[in-house]
Chains A and B, each alone.
Chain A
Amino acid sequence: MNPSQRVADIFKRLRRISIRKAIPTIKGLPIIPAVILLVFVICGLFGKWIAPHDPVKINLDDTLIPPFWQEGGSTKYILGTDGMGRDMLSRLIFGANVSLQVGFTVIVFSGFLGTVVALLSGYLGGWVDIILMRVVDIFLSLPAIVFSIALAALMGPSKKNLIFILVLVMWSPYARILRGAVLRIKNDDFVDLAIVAGASKARIMFRHIFPNIFNTLVVLATLQLGQVIIAESSLSYMGLGVPPPEPAWGTMIFDGTKQLLMHWWPATIPGLAIVLVVLSGNLFGDWLRVRLDPKFRQL
């Protein structure tokens, strides 16, 4: 190997050092993010049985108790209580339920919509493609945050509306990217074979092409999870998302803002939860991307 090749080789190797390797992994699966996500899902699904206290009941005797490691804290309320005496930990756990519900539903629906549009548009081509892509472009060119706020204002805050709005905002990237994948797969041999065998267009699209774009879909969905959670919490923070008294992490942060001057934990702790989950989602999605679809580097 001559010197310039050696230099090039070193460069290439250096570039592969990524933050993924800084986190302990099992066969490449980043453990900590996976565990965090698992905890999140478990809290989301089984929160009712895990939470130590009632997240909604107002308890004016025990307001603003600090987390147990600080002075004045107790192990009765491990992460302290908020301004209305509600246990932080229980609210966090129930908030996970809200985030999981909203996040999962939004991803499923927007993924579904995006996939269908991508399949029809990519495989059928022609007018269908042109029209559908125009629609996708329209949605892509809407400013997301402003759009969701305006819609939330016009429709009124509720979980259902929130899900509807977020789906509207988030489905178009799926359509765009999956369409590209469909176009690439369309020309593969097995599609031709299916046509020769007499398969109908619908059958080809859903039984043959779809399984091949499924990987891309899953990667996209995982990467979007973080965005959905942040979007949902932002809208809740502004009072336009999940309405009280249901504990959403964003609403908790809003409530905590009033106490920020004297008490740091009501506002900080829910935010940390969000950061942890979103970060884990992103890292996990990163790993999934490399594992499932190495060609897929665009994102």
Chain B
Amino acid sequence: MELEADLELGEALAAGHVRALAELYDRYGQLAYSVALRVLGDPGRAEDAVQDAFLKLWHSADRYDARRGSLRSWVVTAVRNRSIDYLRGRGAHERREREIPLDAEAQGEGSDPWNEVVTAMERQVVREALTCLPPEQRQAVELAYFAGYSHREIAEMIRVPLSTVKGRMRLALEKMHSYLQGRGLPL
């Protein structure tokens, strides 16, 4: 059902129907803005980042493939990337190729589990999953995802070997996955 809904909306976007863009924004605009604000900490810049991201999606809608990932993931990835660009002082043209792979979530085992409305309970559980991580693992995840640092930059910043940073990231995601699965969230 989610795949069909995303497919339909994606096709309407690619056909240039502004109504589809409005629907995309109405579905995910708040999440997008929340992510941008979390990354940038500045409401004005967060607005700019969200606008940039939605317009990028609007202009590249013909490249969206619902079978490779959800619309939600597509929006969040675009907004997160644009926000990181703003944060790191990069123009869009400087962006290195670093899309979070959509196909990672869609290889035969269903798509983005967070596709639809997120309940307060689900939000709480995800927060708990992060909070339960050892501080150094959580730090590695947050510096990468919400601040846009590479593993190399993180290693230099906190003065640990590169392999340690990679290990912390993996352990953090493994633990988060287990925690979420253990609480029955859709994984």
Question: Do A and B come from the same complex?
Answer: no
A residues contacting B by CB (< 8 A) are: none
